[in-house]
Amino acid sequence: MKAMTKPLVLSDYLDDHSLMRLAGFITFERGRSYYYSERVNLKHISSERVEATVQGTLVYRVSLTFMGEKLGYSCTCPVGRDGFFCKHLVATAMAARGRVPIPAEIAWQRHLEHLLQLGTSANIESPKQSIARQYVIVFGLAKTHTLGWTLLPLRLYVGKSSKQELGSIDWNDPEQLDAFIQKLPARKSEVVRSLGEMSYCLNADSGAYLLASLMINSYSSSPHRLEWFWRTPLLLYLSSDDGNLYRRLKLHPLDEKVALLMHQNSTGIDLQFALMMGEKIVPLNNKQTSLVQNKPPIFLVEDTLVRVSYPTKSLLLEKLLQEPRIHIPDSSVRQFMEKYFLRVAETITLVGEGIQYYDDVQPRARLYLSEKNKALVAELRFDYLGKEVPYGNNSSCVVIPQTDQQAAIFVRRNLTFEDTIENELAGSQYGLKRIVANEPGRYTLRAKVHILDFLVKYVPLLIKEGYEIYGEERIKSVRVNHARPSLALQISSGIDWFDLSIIVTFGDQTADWKEVRSAILKGQTYVKLADGSIGQIPEDWLKRFKKVFALGKATERGIELSQAQLPLIDLLTSEAELHQGFAEFEQRRKRLHDFEQIEPQPLPAGFKGELRPYQKAGYDWLHFLYRYKLGGCLADDMGLGKTVQMLAFLQSLKETQKPASAHLLVVPKSLLVNWQREAERFTPQLKFLDYSKADRPKDLKVFDEVDVVLTTYGIVLRDIERLRKYHFDIVILDESQAVKNPLAQSARAVRLLKSNHRLVMTGTPIENNTFELWSQFAFLQPGLLGSLEVFRREFAAPIESEGNEETVETLRKLVHPFILRRTKSQVAPELPPREERLVYIDMSAEQEKLYQQVRDYYRQLLLGMIDSEISQDQRMRILEGLLRLRQISIHPALVEANFQGEAPKFTWVLEMLETLQQEGHKALVFSQFVEALQLLRKELDSQSIPYTYLDGQTHNRQAQVDAFQNDPNLPFFLISLKAGGVGLNLTAADYVIHLDPWWNPAVERQAADRTHRIGQQKPVFIYKVILRNTVEEKILTLQEKKRQLVDQLIHAEGSIFKSLTRQDLEVLFS
C-alpha cells in the first residue's frame, strides 16, 4: 500500500484534478471509462475507508483508506500490486464521489469557513468586479513556425455581460458556450500561462480547467493530447499562436483510412492521395489538408479533424500531402504493374477497379511434417483464401494476383491470431517445442515425446482443434495403420460364468489380444501390429472397454466374467461382431434384466398377514434372486415394510425349499426387539435363535435346529472366527449401511461369512460416497465391481472428482439388476401427505457476538491450511470449529456454560411444543447433540411437560417406544439422531422437529420416516429449525451441492465432509 500527504479528508482526493495527479492522464481516462461502464460494485463507504470490487479481466478488490495524515490505496490487479494508482482505483474513486461523509469534527469547520469567506468577499469585492474576473477556457489549434501544429489552452474573460445573461447559460454545454463566444465583439483570448482560482472558471466542470492545468504542467508534450476532445464536451478552435480565434473545429466521429485512388485514362495511370470517409472519398492536398498529429494520425480537412485508423507511417503521409498526385505515363504502365503495383498496395490501400481488400479473414493454421536425422520437424504456415504464407514472413498483407493484370486481392494478415497460434504450438499441450528458442515457426518434439506419441496422440488432437496436418506420409521411422479396429467375440458359458474369446483386427492385421488389453488398461491409444505398423485404439474403446477389462478376469484368449457381470458384456457386444454362444448369453441376460416378468410365487401358508402389491413384487424378486444364486439389495424407502417382505420370503423357503442350514440375520442392536416382535406377529412358525446374549451357545450345531439365527454386527465381529466355520443358507444384513466403510472391521468380517446366498436391506444404499456401494456389493456379489483399488480408479475417482456421467451410467447399469428400490410416492399414494418446512430464526445480540468471535478465530486458524493436503490433526481442528459453531447455533450454553442471554431457537421450539400439546398433537424432537436434548429436558421438566427420551445410553429402548406409541398423555419424544434414527416405528407422532441440521440429509430423512410409514393415518409435518446467517444455513447449501452423485446412482442423497474444499470452508466460516 502506498501513501501520500493528507489534504484534509478522504473526499478531497476524489476530484478529477487529484485523480489525474495520482494516476496520470492515460490511466485516468481508462478509469473513467470503467466508471461509466458501471464496472464498480461499492462494498463499504465511510469517512475513512472505501472498499469495492471492479470487474476487469478478473474481479479485483480495491480499497481507499485514510489513516492519520495519509491516503492509502490498494488494488489486487498487477498494476495495483506494484504500488501504482491504477484504473480500478480511479473508477472506484469516481463511484464514491458525493457518498464519502466528511467527519463531524471537520464538517462544521468547513461550513463556517465557507460562510466567512462569502461574507468577507462581499465586503471587499463588488459583484461587478467579481464578474469581471470570471472567465471560460477553450482550446486553440495553432500552426507555429517553430513547433508546427500545437494545442493551446486559451482564456476568455466574460467581460461586461450582465449577471442575468451569465446566469442563463449552461457553461458546460459546448453549444451554448460557443453561441456566447460568437456574440463577443472581439474574440480575442489569452494563452493560459498560469491558472487562478478555479471558482472563477465558469466551465470548470466540463474538464476544461483540468486539461488546461495538465497542459501547463507539461502535459502538452503528450502525443495523444487531441484524443481528449473526442471524449469530453470541450471547445476546440482554429486559432493563431497568440490567441485569436478563427473558427470552431468539428470532430469526425469515426476513424477512417487513407488510400491512393488508382485511375487509368488515355495518358496512363493517376494515383491520387485520398481520405476514405465511409462511402465518400475525399481527395487530399496540402492546401486544404494538414497532418496535425502523427500518432495516431489526425488530419485537419478544412474545419474538421479526422482520425486515421490504419497505421500508415506519418512521414509517408506528410510526403503524400506535399505531392498528392502521381502520374504514370502510358509508356511506363507495364513497368509500374510488374515492379511497383504489389509493393505499393502492401504499403497503403489502393482503391480502384478490380482491387479488393479483406481485413477480417481468419487464416487456417497448417503444420507441414518432415523428418530430418530421424527427428520430426514441423513448420507452421497460414492459408489466407488459398494463398499460403510461412509464419514469420514480414509482409503485413497477402497478395492474391488475379487474371487481370491490374486486379488483385489484398488480405491483411491477422498477425495477432498468428502469434497466438505460434505460442500455442510452442507450449507443452501438443508435445512440440521450437527448434531454436528465438526462431518461432519451426518445431521439433519435446524430450519425453516419442514420434509415435505425437502421431497417435497429438496429431488427432491438433486436427480436432482445427489445424491442417500435411506430410505425415513422409515420416518413415513410424507407420500408422489408420483403419478403425473391429472386435469379434466368441462366448462360452459355465454354471455361473462366461468366457469371452476376443479377436481385434486393424484392416487385414490382427492384434495380439494381451497387448490390446494392456494398452487399454494403461490408457494408451495405440498398439503395435504384426507388420510393424501402429494401430490406433479409438477413444470410445478406452472409455467403454477399460472398465470391462479391469473388472474381468484375464484369460489366454480373452476375459472371464461372472453371471452377475452380464451388464459388462453389453458394453462389448454393442461394438463386436458375435460368432457363437450368443443365444445362451442373450437368454441369461434377458432372465436377469426382465424383472417385470419374474414368475409370481404363492405366499406361504404360515404367513399371518397380507402383502401389498409392491411388497408381493419384492417377495417374488427375492425368490428370483434365490433361484439364480444372485445377491441383492432390497432398498425400499423407509417405512414401506422391508421387514415383512423378508419374513414372508424366509417362511416360504421353510415350506418349499427346506434349507439344509439356518439363515443368519445381522441387525443393529437397536432393532433386535423389533425383528423378534415382527416375526412373532407375521411368521410365528419360523424358529429364531437370539445369538446376541452373553450366554449365546458356543456349539454351532444348535444352528441346525432353528430357521433363523438373529445377531448383531458387534457379535459377528467378535465371533467371526467361530461363525465363519458354519455354512449358512442365506446371510442377510439389515440396515446394511452399517458396513458401508470397506476398510472397517465389521465390513471385512461379514465378507468372511460362508453362505449359499447373500441379501442386504437398507433404505439408503449410499449416504456419503460410492465406496459405500462397493463395500455392500463386495459382500453381495464379490468381484462384480472389481477390487477396491480398481473401483477407486475406474469408478470413484471419475465420478466423485470429475463428475463423469458416462462412468455414472456404467456403474448404474452394473448394480441396477441387483437393487430393488420403491419410493413411497410410487407405491403408497394412500399415505397421508408429508410436508417439510424450513423455519428460519434470527440470532440474539449476545448469541451473534459469541458466534462471530468463535467463527473469526477458526476462520483465521483454518483457511491457511486447506490448499495443501489436510492432515488428520488439521481435519480434527476443522471439525472442532464446525462443531462449536453448530452448538452455538442451537444454544450458546452448549459452548459457554455460564451463558445468560437469549437462545431464540430454544424459545421457538418450546413455544411450538406448548402449542402442539394444547392442540393434542404428538411430536418427535431430534438432535445430533445429546447435550442439546439434555438442555431441552431441563426446560420441559421446569414446565412439567411430560415426554419420553432416547439416546445411546438408554437401556430400555423398546419400553420408551411403546410408552410413546400407546400413552396419549406422552406428547413428546426427545431422540438422539444417531441412536433413534433407524429401525423404530413411531407412527403415533404427526410432527417431527429437527433441532439442528446434519451433514447427511439421508440420515435426517430416515429419522423423519420413523413416523411417515405404513400405518400412519394423519398428515406429517416436519420442521427443520435453522438459525439465519450461521453455519446451519450454509450446511443446507452445501447439502444441495452434494446430492447429485447419489441421486444418479440410487436416488438417495449424499453427505459433505469427504470433499470439503477451501471454497466450502470459506463459505462455512464466512
Range ranked top by mean pLDDT from 162-166, 289-293, 655-659? 655-659
**pLDDT reported for residue 1054:** 30
Tell me: pLDDT of 551 over 80: no
0.75 exceeded by the pTM? no
* More confident of the two residues 340 and 574: 340
- Largest Cα–Cα distance of the chain, in whole Å? 128
Provide the sign of the torsion angle of the four alpha carbons 912, 918, 923, 926, taken in this order. positive
Q: State the angle between helix axes of 904-919 and 930-942 in degrees (0 to 180), rounded to the nearest 10.
A: 60
Least confident segment among 162-166, 225-229, 720-724, 865-869 = 865-869
Least confident segment among 102-111, 284-293, 630-639, 815-824 = 102-111
Tell me: pLDDT of 226 over 50: yes
Tell me: pLDDT of 489 over 80: no
Q: Cα angle vertex 394, ends 391, 400, to 5°?
A: 80
**pLDDT reported for residue 127:** 38
Least confident segment among 282-296, 402-416, 665-679, 772-786 = 402-416
CA atoms within 13 A on the CB side of 507: 11
Tell me: pLDDT of 796 over 50: yes
pLDDT average, residue stretch 855-879: 68
Q: Which residue ranges form the domains of the chain, and what is each CATH number?
A: 2-109 (no CATH), 127-248 (no CATH), 250-352 (no CATH), 364-391+403-476 (no CATH), 481-593 (no CATH), 600-827 (3.40.50.10810), 834-1068 (3.40.50.300)
Tell me: pLDDT of 620 over 60: yes
Burial of 835 (0-12, 13-18, 19+ CB in 10 A): exposed
257 closest CA partner among 357, 394, 395, 399: 357
Rg of the Cα atoms in the chain: 43
Tell me: pLDDT of 518 over 90: no
Tell me: pLDDT of 560 over 90: no
**pLDDT reported for residue 1057:** 36
For residue 653, the tally of other CB atoms under 10 A from its CB is 20
Provide the sign of the torsion angle of the four alpha carbons 263, 264, 268, 269, taken in this order. positive
Tell me: pLDDT of 3 over 90: no
Least confident segment among 229-238, 810-819, 847-856, 1007-1016 = 1007-1016
| Grid cell digits, residue 336 | 509500374
Tell me: pLDDT of 311 over 70: no
What's the pLDDT band for 4 if we cut at 50, 70, 90? Answer: very low
**pLDDT reported for residue 124:** 35
pLDDT average, residue stretch 587-600: 64
**pLDDT reported for residue 496:** 59
For the chain, what is the mean pLDDT?
A: 82
pLDDT average, residue stretch 720-745: 91
> Mind spelling out the 3-state secondary structure of 285-324?
CCCCEEEEECCCCEEEECCEEEEECCCCCHHHHHHHHHCC
Least confident segment among 104-113, 141-150, 298-307, 761-770 = 104-113
| Grid cell digits, residue 128 | 461587478
Q: What percent of the chain is modeled with pLDDT above 70?
A: 85
Least confident segment among 266-270, 487-491, 526-530 = 487-491
Tell me: pLDDT of 399 over 70: yes
What's the pLDDT band for 740 if we cut at 50, 70, 90? Answer: confident
Helix H or strand E encompassing 348: none
* More confident of the two residues 986 and 722: 722
Rounded Cα gap, residues 441 and 344, in angstroms? 27
257 closest CA partner among 318, 345, 348, 342: 348
Tell me: pLDDT of 1039 over 70: no
pLDDT average, residue stretch 418-446: 90
pLDDT average, residue stretch 611-616: 89
* More confident of the two residues 274 and 487: 274
* More confident of the two residues 268 and 406: 268
Range ranked top by mean pLDDT from 106-115, 622-631, 803-812, 1011-1020? 622-631
**pLDDT reported for residue 1064:** 54
What's the pLDDT band for 1046 if we cut at 50, 70, 90? Answer: very low
| Segment 443-447 long-range contacts (CB within 8 Å, at least 24 positions apart) | 443/377, 443/378, 443/379, 443/380, 444/375, 444/376, 444/377, 444/378, 445/375, 445/376
**pLDDT reported for residue 735:** 87
Tell me: pLDDT of 580 over 60: no
**pLDDT reported for residue 874:** 67
pLDDT average, residue stretch 149-161: 84
816 closest CA partner among 494, 491, 548, 568: 568
Using the CB atoms, write b or e for 743-753: b if 16+ within 10 Å.
eeebbbbbbeb
Strand partners, 841: 1027
Rounded Cα gap, residues 732 and 712, in angstroms? 11
Tell me: pLDDT of 621 over 60: yes
* More confident of the two residues 500 and 603: 603
* More confident of the two residues 321 and 125: 321
pLDDT digits (tens, 9 = 90+) for 108-148: 777 676 566 555 544 333 334 345 578 899 999 998 877 68
Range ranked top by mean pLDDT from 250-264, 349-363, 654-668? 654-668
Tell me: pLDDT of 638 over 80: no
**pLDDT reported for residue 689:** 95
Q: State the angle between helix axes of 582-593 and 566-573 in degrees (0 to 180), rounded to the nearest 10.
A: 130
Tell me: pLDDT of 554 over 90: no
Give the strands of the sheet with 236-239, arranged side by side: 190-191, 148-157, 135-144, 236-239, 245-248
* More confident of the two residues 569 and 691: 691
517 closest CA partner among 549, 486, 544, 547: 549
**pLDDT reported for residue 75:** 94
Task: Check if the beta carbon of residue 1001 is closer than 8 Å to that of residue 1056.
Answer: no
**pLDDT reported for residue 6:** 39
**pLDDT reported for residue 577:** 64
